[in-house]
Structure 1
Amino acid sequence: MAQWVRYFRSGRGIVLGGLVAAAALAGGLVSADRAVRLASAPLTAARLEIQRKQAPPAPAALQARLDELAAAYGEEVGIAVTDVTQGWTAGVDHERPYPQQSVSKLWVAIAVMKAADEGRLDPYGWVTLTEEDRSVFYQPVSYRIGAGGYATPISDLLRRALVESDNAANDKLMRELGGPEGVAATLEGMGLTGVKVGAYERDLQALTAGLVWQADYGIGWNFQAAREALPMATRQAAMDAYLAQPLDGTAPGEITTALAALSRGELLSPASTEWLIGLMSQARTGPRRLKGGLPAGWTIAHKTGTGQDFRGASVGINDVGLITAPDGHVYAVAVMMRHTRKPVPERLAFMQSITRAVAEQWMRDDAFQTAD
């Protein structure tokens, strides 16, 4: 662990240091004693359910605003907002699974960090990517694979997966944990039974398109060519099956519950928590999604998801993360679009309206506390 912490402090990660810092990350309202208890007590699915039942009701004004925004958008959307400190959750269709797409990279990263905390995986360990490790769509790390492969530390794959959303990096991380089943087992052991990865990125995308993955699809535009060669009926049937029961399907409320637990320091060691959220804050994807609606003084640590386009619609257009108010109060937010035909500017405007609604709720709470 000492080496792991030195890595965080090397400039490639963020460490505030100690359990009190982890408490501050959770909104500044968690005592050091409680932070110690949270870090030492194992999280379970039962404990998460107790937390949900004990949480106060969501603010009526925020719930009404989310309902209004979702109705005005006019398409199927899932929204969840969880107050990290108080525990309440407001939402729209937030208990039904939605396709995650690259949001699932977040759960892979958490599983990797948990394995590192437990000594089952060395974050300094080097792995070699070969031709067999190529994935699909965005995968810049695969361009470095030569005749002898490409050797890189696990920590770099984590950065690529979370900051750049590199599919090959994410798939390699999954292999280091024993594949999708290994990731699922690690998450279940942490109490996160409600979030799913489902499949390797390349397998998920192939199945969604009506294909079965083969190695040459990872080269150039071979995947796209094979997809275009399929009969339209085959592609439609595959897409319909995915939308009806997505392999990576997870409810927005489950996502914000997990993010809130991460922020409170309940999932990982303090150092791992700090570093993971630090990587999320560096994400290069989706700068105009949730982030675009934040007022001055707010920050975000997030992960986006973007699925395939088909017949004029896009699948799995998502953004989830932790947004922090100027006073340090943290909210976990998830906005998910199952199947949208809206133009991109309208999608972005909708996501931005959700973060503005959260900021407005914080201002109401702040004004109430000031008056009190």
Structure 2
Amino acid sequence: MLLGCAVHENPQLAAFLPAPNYRVLLPIPSATAAPVHPVVPAPEGLVSSLGTITRNFDGVVGIAITSVDGGWIASANGARKLPQQSVSKLWVAMTVLDAVDQGRIRLDDPLVITRSDFTLFHQPIAALVKGDQGYVSTVGEIMRRALTMSDNTCNDKLLRLVGGPEAVRSFIARNALGPIRFGPGEKLLQANTAGLQWRPEYSMGNSFAVARAQLPRATRVAAFDAYVADPLDGAAPLAIAGALARLKRGELLSPSSTAWLISTMQSSHTGKQRLRGAVPPGWQFGHKTGTGQDLFGRTAGYNDVGILTAPDGRSYALAVMIGDTPRPIPERQRLMQAVVQAIIAQHG
């Protein structure tokens, strides 16, 4: 097998190898047989637009678009693994829904959030936790909050429910989603990016920000650069767009779970001026944003990924990921909106 691979990669080796003493019988396709996986070229205008969009932006950008119905793929720097940040909440949600499909979890199962569940950064559910009894909820509500509000505490609660990072990684691997890493959870990921060792007290108040600010500048820059260069939660835009296309086609979850997840993504409250800012009336859009830490004007991860559906029912899965940039937020948003505008222009 290894020898065959070597010959394939370097045909010149064939001249030095003995002739094989076996025959390979291949079926002869009929004249009308269609290829199993047809190769459909992406619209040239769209490919050109993506190249222009990325070249004219000061930052590390990866873009990928998959036509759910047409089968073509367009990308610019789409194979590079870039920080996902809260985009990774999608894989947690899919892992939970996969467990629902298997009968191990129900969306109406009770789930209680207590102070011990708090993480850091964006966790609006913390305001609902009163006293020692905590906030009594359900798996479905907690997952809806994780997706539509990007609540970190809700997401980490679900992550523990399904078995931790290894369970999510197993879902990604079993479904062959490609180069998508899943990190160690919000606490450890953010501490590592900042150059800190996680401590439980960082979940309360602004203690994490205070500890981070007290670090030497060189320590913070080194940790930030290491994360951007090889993110623990890095994923290729091509892989994310491909996974979303498979979700839309119903290849990853049951019909009911697929419908639940897509409708929940469509009701997301985050990133209204990212990709969604260019979605015209009559089109549907379900998405998940992700935003990383800032350091001296740079941001490690400013993302939006989702499924865009035209009034005629044709859909596109897209991932726009800015891995590292010093440019202000309005410029990042304009880049994302330009991608949506390019898709709509080619749709006709």
Q: TM-score of the superposition, structure 1-length normalised?
A: 0.81
| Deviation per residue, 1:179-234 (Å, 9 max, x gap) | 11111112222232432321211211111001122111111111111111111111
- Deviation of 1:167 after TM superposition, in Å, equals 0.2
1:217, 1:54 → 2: CA distance?
Answer: 52
**Counting helix residues as a fraction of each chain, which structure ranks higher?**
1
Q: How does 1:37-56 map to 2 (within 5 A)?
A: 54-56=38-40
Q: Which amino acid aligns with 2:217?
A: M
Residue equivalent to 2:93 = 109
Q: 2:201: which partner in 1?
A: 216
The within-5 A match list for 1:63-212 is 63-145=47-129, 146-212=131-197
Moved more, 184-193 or 215-224: 184-193
Which of the numbers 272, 283, 293 marks the counterpart of 2:278? 293
Instruction: Give the secondary structure class of the aligned counterpart of 1:162.
Output: helix
Is contact 1:108-1:197 (8 Å) kept? no
Letter in 2 for 1:228: A
What RMSD, in angstroms, separates the aligned Cα atoms of the two structures?
1.4
Asked if structure 1 preserves the Cα contact closer than 8 Å seen for 2:58 and 2:325, the reply is no
| Match among 251, 269, 272 for residue 284 of structure 1 | 269
Q: What SS does the corresponding residue of 2:308 show, helix, strand or coil? A: strand
Q: What CA deviation, in whole Å up to 9, does each residue of 1:74-108 have, x standing for no partner?
A: 32210001000122110100011110000000111
Whether contact under 8 Å (2:58, 2:326) holds in the other structure is: no
> How far, CA to CA, are the matches of 1:147 and 1:232 in structure 2?
39
* Counterpart residue identity of residue 299, structure 1: Q
SS in 2 for 1:191: coil
Counterpart position of 2:221: 236
SS in 1 for 2:235: coil
Shift of residue 148 of structure 1? Answer: 2.4
1:353 aligns to 2:338 (yes or no)? yes
Distance 2:106 2:201 in 1: 31
Aligned to 2:314: 329
SS of residue in 1 equivalent to 2:99: helix
The amino acid of 2:126's aligned partner reads S
Do structure 1's residue 269 and structure 2's residue 280 form an aligned pair?
A: no
Q: 2:235 aligns with which of 231, 250, 267?
A: 250
1:312 is aligned to 2:297:
yes
Deviating more after overlay: 187-196 vs 198-207: 187-196
Structure 1, unpaired ranges of 5+: 1-49, 364-372
Tell me the alpha carbon deviations over residues 108-144 of structure 1, each in whole angstroms, 9 at most, x when there is no partner.
1011101100112222211222332111111011233
Partner of 2:74: helix, strand, or coil?
strand
The whole-number CA distance in structure 2 between the counterparts of 1:206 and 1:259 is 29
The offset of 1:293, in angstroms, is: 1.4
Match of 2:44 in 1: 60
TM-score (norm 2): 0.87
1: CA distance between counterparts of 2:115 and 2:56? 47
Give unmatched runs, 5+ long, in structure 2. Answer: 1-34
| CA deviation map 1:231-287 (0-9, x unaligned) | 111111111111111011000000000000000011111111001000000110111
- CA distance in 2 between partners of 1:319 and 1:237 (Å): 26
**Aligned pairs, number:** 313
Match of 1:26 in 2: none
Change (3 A) 1:259 1:55: farther
Letter matched to residue 121 of structure 2 = F
- Rounded to whole Å, the distance in 2 between the matches of 1:258 and 1:278 is 17
Which residue pairs with 2:5 in the alignment? Answer: none
Which structure has the larger Rg over C-alpha atoms? 2
Letter in 1 for 2:101: D
CA distance in 2, matches of 1:54, 1:121: 38
Matches of 1:139 and 1:207 in 2, distance apart?
Answer: 19
C-alpha distance in structure 1 between counterparts of 2:217 and 2:38, whole Å: 49
Aligned partner of residue 73 in structure 1, secondary structure = coil
- Structure-2 separation of matches of 1:273 and 1:56: 26
Contact 1:174–1:180 at 8 Å: present in 2 too? Answer: yes
Q: In the alignment, is the contact (CA less than 8 A) between 1:210 and 1:238 conserved in 2?
A: yes
Does 127-136 or 157-166 show the bigger shift? 127-136
